[in-house]
Amino acid sequence: MRSFHTIIVGLGAMGSAAAFHLARRGAEVLGIEQFPIGHDLGSSHGRSRMIRLAYSEHPDYVPLLHRAYQLWEELERLSGRKLLHQTGGLYLGLPGSDLVDGALRSARTHGLAHELLQGAEIARRFPPFCPPSQAVALFEPAAGFLLPEQVIRCHVALARASGA
């Protein structure tokens, strides 16, 4: 009977990525999932998931996010699939809001491309929104979305190809 050094239970977004990265480094990996690969029953599933660099939670996340973007580009190259869609992201709130202020702090700390917009400019540039005149927004061009089920399928396929 074959013994595994790494057993991953749950091949959602995190588990499938871990399986791939460990297997490609030569670890013996067994992934176990109770549902079909790419199912929509977990917290990381659904039509899309937002990705951004100007993390409002804290600027310390930004170096990790730069690395994540590199890994998404690598996954796209290895899989031949378009997974990361950089559409730009809008952080909208009132002056002093944690969301806008936090994203602005991250953008300024790490020199991220961004624009700070005021109420009328927000409505002009983004017609679906009708913010109050005192609203502010940070636009981050690098933000976008990922396709989680496709990401998971790609990670699992590449993990299998790497021996998992």
3-state secondary structure 23-53: HHCCCCEEEECCCCCCCCCCCCCCCCEEECC
What is the pTM assigned to this prediction? 0.88
- β pairing state of 84-85 and 115-118: unpaired
pLDDT confidence band for 118 (50 / 70 / 90): very high
Residue pLDDT, tens place only, 51-99: 999 999 999 999 999 999 999 999 999 999 999 999 999 999 999 999 9
More confident residue, 41 or 60: 60
Q: What are phi and psi of 93, to 5 degrees?
A: -175, -170
Tokens 């930004």: give the residue.
Answer: 62
Q: Which residues of 108-137 are buried (b: 16+ CB within 10 A; e: fewer)?
A: eebebebeebebebbbeebeeeebeeebbb
